[in-house]
Structure formats: C-alpha cells, structure tokens
Amino acid sequence: MTAPSPTALACTGLSRSFGALRAVDAVGLTVEPGARHALIGPNGAGKSTLFRLLTGRMRPDAGTVDLAGRDVTGFSEVRRNRLGMSQTLQHASLFASLSAAETVALAVRRHGTAGGGARIVPWPRRQPTVDARAGELLDRVGLADRARQPVPALAHGERKQLEVALALACSPTVLLLDEPAAGMSPAESARLLALLADLPAEVTVLFVEHDLDLVFDLADRVTVLHLGRVLLTGTPDEVRASDAVREAYLGTARREELFTG
C-alpha cells in the first residue's frame, strides 16, 4: 500500500504574542499539495503575523511548521527557501537601476537555472542559460515585451507580476503571496488572477488577500482568521455561506454587502 503524500505546508498550535496581545493563537493550518489556498480575515485578524511565522521571518512562541512533512520550525527564511518555499511580500523592494530582465536574471543566478546551486558570477558577465531562464519567467508572468524596461518604468501591476517571476526563479514547490493584488486596478487584478490561475499544478499556493472577488475566483480552499484564531476552513461556497464569517467582517450586515461576486 502506498503511503499518503505529506501535506505541502502545515502548522500546528502556532502562536505569537506581542506583550499582552496574542496575535496568533494556537493556529492549525493544512495546505494540500497543488492547492490554491487563501488566507483571509478582517483587519487585525493575525494574517500578516501568521504569514511571517510560516515563512520564517518571525519565530513563534509555540507550535510547529512543517514543509512537505519536514519540521522547519527552527529553520531560517533562507533555509526554507532552499527547501522549496518562495514568497512575495506586500511591500517588496526592487532594484530601480535594473531592467525587468536583469532583475529576474539576478534571481536566477542566485538560485540556479533549475532551482539550485548556480554559482553567482560578476554582474557584467552574461550566461546564456541564465538569460534564457529569465526570459521564460518573464514570458510566464506576461512581461516578455517589457523585459528591457527599467523597473521604475513598470506600472504597479507589472511590478507585482515581476515579483511573481522572482518568486518562481527558485522553482518553488510552495509559493506564498502576501496581498498580491494590493493597490491594483480592476484590470491589473484581472491580469494577476489569470497569471496565478495559470501557474503549474505542482506549485502549491497560499495567499493572503483582501480582494475577496479575487479570493473566490482563485481559491479552492479558504481559511478565515479572526482575533488570531482560525474561524473556519472550507471551500469558497462554505465560507460564503457562513454567518460567522459575515459577522466577523461586518457585524450583522447583510452577506450581499460582503460577497459581491
């Protein structure tokens, strides 16, 4: 009998406090391989703190984090990245002096053309395999025609697309996206949705997002946080139908005012 595959990402009893504030309170979360799993909740629910705990940017007070069945609780952000976890940040810093292609090529050099171990070489030197991989990534995120543009010349939505290309440069098995649609116009959000929906099935995606239309168009599982705890994990339809979720967001307001899609 074949043993069951491990979950792509999981946490058990994860907690983090800031003084008297318990920002994340004994959270348990399971993200299955290949899932498009959304993490939502009202402001102050603990989403950003949980995200930092999962990526290794912050250490928990208690609990564990597993990546593909391996306990990575004590691992650094860099070490988790080497094991297949990649991320985009809500407020990322990009090199203004580089073009889109140069930015992605730098990430490819750092992580290797096939996800591991390429030697970093002095910047002026060109590597055909690196340039080819960077071109593939830009094409995947819809920026092939913007490759030579300097980063400051890219629109906000295009910079978000570039960040996804950077996250994909290390060939991740788990991709975490922190509010990828923040600040986007409806047209930019639609392009981002198409990009994320087209990611390879072998890449598991966990994303924090306030745009609920994007959440319910993309996610197959949704976890709702409220006051640092998991309020509900279920299908998009189950979350839409939940009175507890509606009340957490809007008190006693009508569901139609929250879920407009």
pLDDT in tens, 64-121: 999 999 999 999 999 999 999 998 876 566 788 899 999 999 888 877 644 444 444 4
What average pLDDT does the segment 173-178 reach? 94
Q: Which residue has the tokens 């899932």?
A: 35
Class of domain 1-84+172-261: alpha beta
- pTM of this structure: 0.85
The tokens describing 261, both together, are 């899609």
Tell me what pLDDT residue 50 has: 96
Side-chain-facing half-sphere of 215: CA atoms under 13 Å: 28
Whether the pLDDT of residue 62 is over 90: the answer is yes
Whether the pLDDT of residue 181 is over 70: the answer is yes
Dihedral sign (CA 104, 31, 72, 207): positive
List, edge to edge, every strand of the sheet that includes 174-178.
85-88, 174-178, 204-208, 36-40, 221-226, 229-234
Residue 240 · residue 257 · CB < 8 Å? no
Q: How far apart are CA 243 and CA 160, in angstroms?
A: 33
Q: How far apart are CA 211 and CA 57, in angstroms?
A: 24
Residues β-bridged to residue 221 = 37
CATH 3.40.50.300 residue ranges of the chain are 1-84+172-261
Tell me what pLDDT residue 231 has: 95
Tell me what pLDDT residue 123 has: 47
Tell me what pLDDT residue 1 has: 46
Whether the pLDDT of residue 3 is over 60: the answer is no
